[in-house]
Chains A and B, each alone.
Chain A
Amino acid sequence: GQNIDQPTEMTATEGAIVQINCTYQTSGFNGLFWYQQHAGEAPTFLSYNVLDGLEEKGRFSSFLSRSKGYSYLLLKELQMKDSASYLCAVRDSPGGYNKLIFGAGTRLAVHP
């Protein structure tokens, strides 16, 4: 079956670093996305990994290991505005259309 696992909730301190893990089991793999969703707002695209390794974009980095079915999102120099849900999503249709399978999301609370 299709399964995406990520922790339900995490807390961290302003200025610190936090790593949000995601493991997946899907019938196929054609890329992994991370989205950020503030309460009551639209999910917004953060990062995309299709090959193994680390993708860095400012304070946010995302890592992928296809052999392990594993990804993480790394947030550095945490700010209060980073308090949000972080959604991991896998595209499972090689060469096909954008059928994304989402995890339930990790709610991150950043404290002063």
Chain B
Amino acid sequence: ETGVTQTPRHLVMGMTNKKSLKCEQHLGHNAMYWYKQSAKKPLELMFVYNFKEQTENNSVPSRFSPECPNSSHLFLHLHTLQPEDSALYLCASSQEIEGPLHFGNGTRLTVT
């Protein structure tokens, strides 16, 4: 139990599908993040939310749409993805905006 739970663990979707990734943190943290981890590449920051407000959109294509309804939940809505979007998508949280990150186990996404 990492304190940060992501569902689903695995997702296969076609390029025309719409799906959503869910993240929930049970740590009482105020900041939440989406990261993308591709094989043999560094973790890439996608979005940052602090107290439910988006503070960073790291030039992410509009086919990725985040939603943060409250400090404990974070979603990543996906539509018309490309095969190169196949990766491990990691959610993280931190107590303060500068604290260490606590990661979830990720969603392994495959776009066919």
Please list the residues of chain A having a beta carbon within 8 angstroms of any beta carbon in chain B.
Answer: 4, 8, 30-31, 33, 35, 40-45, 48, 87, 89, 91, 96-105
**In the complex, A103 Cα to B97 Cα: how many Å?**
21
Contact across chains for A105 and B42 when beta carbons are under 8 A apart: yes
Q: When chains A and B are docked, how far (Å) is the Cα of A8 from the Cα of B99?
A: 27
Query: Do A45 and B4 touch (CB < 8 A)?
Result: no
Docked complex Cα distance between A99 and B2 (Å): 21
| Residue contact A102 to B48, C-beta cutoff 8 Å | no
Interface size on B, residues (CB 8 A): 26
A97 touches B90 (CB 8 A): no
Most buried by B among A4, A44, A98: A98
Chain A residues near B97: list those with CB within 8 A: 96-98
Cβ of A48: which chain B residues have Cβ within 8 Å of it?
Answer: 100
Q: Does B94 contact A (CB under 8 A)?
A: yes
The residue from A35, A41, A97, A101 contacting B50, defined by CB atoms under 8 A apart: A97
Do A99 and B56 form a contact, CB below 8 Å, given A42-B2, A105-B42? yes
A42-B94 contact given A104-B41, A105-B42, CB 8 Å threshold: no
Do B42 and A98 have beta carbons less than 8 Å apart?
Answer: no
List 21 interface pairs A-B (beta carbons < 8 Å), by A numbering: A31-B98, A42-B2, A43-B43, A43-B101, A44-B2, A45-B101, A48-B100, A87-B43, A96-B97, A97-B50, A97-B97, A98-B48, A98-B94, A98-B99, A98-B101, A99-B48, A99-B56, A100-B45, A101-B42, A102-B44, A105-B42
